[in-house]
Amino acid sequence: MLGATLGLGLALLALYLVRAIRTYYSLSHFGGHWVAGWSRLWLLRTQGSGEMNKRFTEVNRKYGEFPIGEGVETKSTIFRFAVWVSPTPRSASLTLVHRADETQAPRLGLRRPCLSHPMAELFRRMSAVRSPFTRGRWYTALKLHPDRDNITSYVDEHKHAAIRTRMAPGYSGKENVHLEADVDEQLLKFLDLVSSKYVAQPEQDIFRTVDLSQVTSYFTLDVISKVAFGQTFGFLDNDEDPFGYLANLAQMLPAIIVFGVYTELTNIMKLPAVKAALPKSSDKRGLGRVMGFARDRVQERFGPKAIRRQDMLDEFIKRGLTQEELESETLTQITAGSDSTASALRMTLHFISTSPPILERLLAEARAGIEAGKISRPIIQDVEARQLPYLQACIKEGLRIYPPVTGLMAKMVPEGGAMIDVDGVEKFAPGRTQIGWNSWGMMHDPVVFGADAEIYRPERWLVRDESEKERGRVARMNETVTLCFGYGRFGCLGRGVATMELNKAVVETLLRFNLQSCNLAKPFNEKVVGFYVHTDMDFVVTERSSGDQSALVRLEGDKVDAGALAGAYEE
């Protein structure tokens, strides 16, 4: 008996080794850290480092570089996850030519020679509507419910396409007549909260600070609950996390990291003991409480006394989503739509408020718009914001320098494999290879964004002259930054809502308040886990108008005691 067990064990080990070696060599030509070729531990370490964005970018810079443009080097990443043995991430730079799809996807450069960057081109090709690439197993980690998938977690193409078709109209905003008014209402509450509770008045010895990381999350969470269900969670009303949701999310980070690498572990959610420990809608706090809130709001739309409101939920119901589907999808809406927009908002505010020339230029544009009657008060309308070039440049630059989603979003090479062009050499990526996305690397690429790509500089988005070269430069940047919302059949459905929030909140906040970071040497703490967990982002806030007045200095008389530094001019 012992002998048979030992024999079986050795046979399994041999099988594992053969597969591991085959997997390793099938992708060894892409280069990368050797550990990543054998196990996912490298990936786990990188994702758990809290700075996955920077580490992936370092890897891309180290391995598989290929010269492009004017001798500048650029990079991308490929991760290999084997069919069933331990996945083996690899890295390499690449452009993509896919054999099976050659008729639809001509070789890079032939169709749009100057606009496409190889990394962006690859990303688009994989996500395009008729692409044979599919979602990788990475997406299964986005399942929030033990039994139910949601739009972000379906790896089955047909199921994903079916739910997306039914949900897209609800997101489009055309049917959601309350959308803009709902966003305005929450923004006014946000501004009111800052004004009533956080404005410092040092001249009256009132010293206060606000944690921007917190209040921006409160704003986007209340917006999303209002536009999704017609009722807010009450973050802004209470100036706190009423359900303990954000705290619960922070506790779940280790699990998020591990599940994002060992995606098969999502199956343990089906085990009765694990299932019992998972958040559920009857919970009093945390994600479970949010699930309960979503369940109650959905329930109100059904039955004899059903509430009717022309909004997203109503549109989803009209498109035939069941009560169960709605509970799961609305929860996804909250997780997908709150943190991403909040980080875009807070980082954009941070960069503008810490760069006086940028702030001044933005304020000048906004004030001119108000004076000309082109900006509604008290809140700018979305259509008006889209007419302000410098505001748009500031927002795009914010999304670029801190792309809100840094998760791998791995797409899978179809059966039969794909040819991938590395350094001008075509290399074969076997079927089921998963190709991860390094959004940070893509958005910080000097080839696309210029040699100062690491710097927040909205001016790069403004066309300097009418030459074809200049228009091509800006068009290429626009094509790339838009990818931070994904693309094609996987692209973000909430993009319109997010853009509306940013269009309004950035300019209205800065028009009212002067923001000063409390600690420029370390303005915030950050953990990057596919999204950003920011804490301690403390700012001093003063009313902009009073700040402006106090800056007016009157120099009266010939001799002024300006209080110059003592000692420097003394004998």
Between residue 111 and residue 130, which ones bind ligand HEM under the rule CB under 6 A? 127
Least gap, CB of 329 to ligand HEM (angstroms)? 8
**Residue range at the interface with ligand HEM (CB under 6 A); choices 245-253, 460-468, 490-498, 522-530:** 490-498
What phi and psi values does residue 507 have, to the nearest 5 degrees? -75, -40
Tell me: does residue 341 bind ligand HEM (CB under 6 A): yes
Give the one residue of 243, 490, 513, 524 binding ligand HEM; rule: CB under 6 A. 490
492 is in an annotated binding site: yes
Q: What's 218's DSSP letter? A: H
Give the one residue of 435, 493, 505, 511 binding ligand HEM; rule: CB under 6 A. 493
The packing angle between helices 286-299 and 323-353, to 10°, is 120
Tell me: does residue 179 bind ligand HEM (CB under 6 A): no
Least gap, CB of 486 to ligand HEM (angstroms)? 2
Find how far residue 442's CA is from the centre of its chain: 13
Between residue 148 and residue 167, which ones bind ligand HEM under the rule CB under 6 A? 151-152, 164
**Residue range at the interface with ligand HEM (CB under 6 A); choices 55-63, 246-254, 457-465, 486-494:** 486-494
Q: Which residues pair with 412 in a beta bridge?
A: 134, 434
The helix (H) or strand (E) run that includes residue 514 is strand 513-517
Cα–Cα distance, 562 to 165 (Å, whole number): 68
187: which 2 tokens? Answer: 């923004």
The contact pattern for ligand HEM, residues 82-111, with x = CB under 6 A and - = no contact, is: ------------------------------
Least gap, CB of 134 to ligand HEM (angstroms)? 11
47 Cβ contact list (under 8 Å, min separation 6): 257, 260, 261, 529, 530
Least gap, CB of 485 to ligand HEM (angstroms)? 5
Number of residues that bind ligand HEM (CB under 6 A): 23
* One-letter amino acid of 93: S
Give the one residue of 82, 420, 442, 498 binding ligand HEM; rule: CB under 6 A. 498
Which CB, 42 or 485, lies closer to ligand HEM? 485
Tell me: does residue 484 bind ligand HEM (CB under 6 A): yes
Cα–Cα distance, 503 to 480 (Å, whole number): 19
Cis peptide before 378 (omega within 30 of 0): yes
Task: Give whole-number Cα distances, 272 to 146, 147, 278, 289, in Å.
Answer: 10, 12, 10, 21
Query: ∠125-126-132 over CA atoms, to 5°?
Result: 100
Three-state helix/strand/coil letters over 346-386: HHHHHHHHCCHHHHHHHHHHHHHHHHCCCCCCCCCCHHHHC
Q: How many CA atoms lie within 13 A of 316 on its CB side?
A: 25
Which CB, 199 or 228, lies closer to ligand HEM? 228
The contact pattern for ligand HEM, residues 132-151, with x = CB under 6 A and - = no contact, is: -------------------x
From the list 176, 477, 194, 470, the residue with the least C-alpha distance to 349 is 194
Least gap, CB of 195 to ligand HEM (angstroms)? 25
The contact pattern for ligand HEM, residues 380-419, with x = CB under 6 A and - = no contact, is: ------------------------xx---x----------
Least gap, CB of 342 to ligand HEM (angstroms)? 9
343: which 2 tokens? Answer: 């980080």
Cα–Cα distance, 69 to 451 (Å, whole number): 13
Least gap, CB of 483 to ligand HEM (angstroms)? 8
Give the one residue of 187, 401, 481, 497 binding ligand HEM; rule: CB under 6 A. 497
The contact pattern for ligand HEM, residues 446-465, with x = CB under 6 A and - = no contact, is: --------------------
Least gap, CB of 470 to ligand HEM (angstroms)? 27
The contact pattern for ligand HEM, residues 296-335, with x = CB under 6 A and - = no contact, is: -------------------------------------x--
Task: Give whole-number Cα distances, 537 to 112, 346, 505, in Å.
Answer: 42, 9, 18
User: Do 56 and 50 meet the contact criterion of CB atoms below 8 Å apart?
Assistant: no
Helix, strand or coil, per DSSP, at residue 68:
strand
Q: Which residue is nearest to ligand HEM (CB)?
A: 494
* Four-point Cα dihedral 272, 278, 280, 284, nearest 10: 130
Least gap, CB of 386 to ligand HEM (angstroms)? 16
Tell me: does residue 366 bind ligand HEM (CB under 6 A): no
Q: What residues line the site for ligand HEM (CB under 6 A)?
A: 127, 151-152, 164, 224, 333, 336-337, 340-341, 344, 404-405, 409, 484-486, 490, 492-494, 497-498
Binding annotation for heme: 492
